[in-house]
Copies of this chain bind each other. A is one copy, B any other.
């Protein structure tokens, strides 16, 4: 198996990305094509001791940044690490692609270069959503801000397939994000989507309220990309506020400081639960090849975990399963 990795995308590229690649190659039975500026890559790789024959470099001098217009950048920055990597993927030079770079550009590149699976209307960004009893999968996390009911049905189907096969949740419960659990609740989009999801061949559990998402009420959370992005970012925002409030409580006086010290080991566990790095990356579902987006602020550990998820994605042949299910 050969994985293509964009070494230039993300806040900590290339240093942490390349460290993650080296760690991954030691742990998993894979070869890696590293895309990016050859000199920079060689300089970083030279820091480590690793099986040289299993890492190949694909030179690309340009970089797509978060400031670039995604669609324009994919069209014009032909020599960027992301475009060169995605082209290599489309041409079959590798089995999957990983990038921690611009989400919008990766999505645009996935659509323009790798192309959609036949029968799929929209590709979706699919993110792990940490919950108190593990994790759920959120589809769509921000790729499609204006949706039709049929898209939401496909999100449910793709999410369900991924959750079962890659993340190992048997017969995953698919829930539709709504403002109430009763049938007939919600805006026009979710009202119409409800029936499509219900008639589909998946374990659809109906409407779910946002209040129950953090407790893992559904394994696969279906919503349009506008709502999905808000769910993701609001959860992060509330968590950040909480930890900052706790920090100010824990350091407010000597008594509190002692209390905090006694609680420290357990608090660490809670923080880890919320840590995106533990959960690998976010797959782009609906395109013809496996592509995973790693978090923009990924360190080496997060990159290694995202590579592991990509390996699973490829091994389980998810693209074929989705294609068969959607054209059933």
Contact = CB atoms under 8 A, between A and B. Distances in A.
A241 interface: yes
Contact of A179 (B132, B211, B229, B263): B229
Contacts of A179: 142, 145, 225-226, 229-230, 233
A233 B209 contact: yes
| Dominant SS among interface residues on chain A | helix
Interface in A163-190: 177, 179, 186-188, 190
A132 B234 contact: no
A38 B190 CA distance: 43
A146 B263 CA distance: 46
A211 to B, nearest CB: 4
A245 B270 contact: yes
A269 B214 CA distance: 23
A212 interface: yes
10 contacts: A132-B244, A142-B179, A209-B237, A211-B237, A211-B240, A227-B230, A235-B238, A238-B239, A242-B242, A259-B260
A267 interface: yes
Interface residues of A, number: 54
A266 interface: yes
B146 A187 contact: yes
A249 B233 contact: no
Given A249-B270, A270-B249, A226 B187 contact: yes
Contacts of A177: 230
Copies of this polypeptide in the complex: 2
Contact of A255 (B145, B211, B230, B262): B262
Contacts of A238: 214, 234-235, 238-239, 242
A234 B233 contact: no
Given A145-B187, A226-B187, A234-B235, A241 B260 contact: no
Contacts of A252: 266
Contact of A263 (B142, B210, B256): B256
Nearest to A186: B145
A261 interface: yes
Nearest to A223: B230
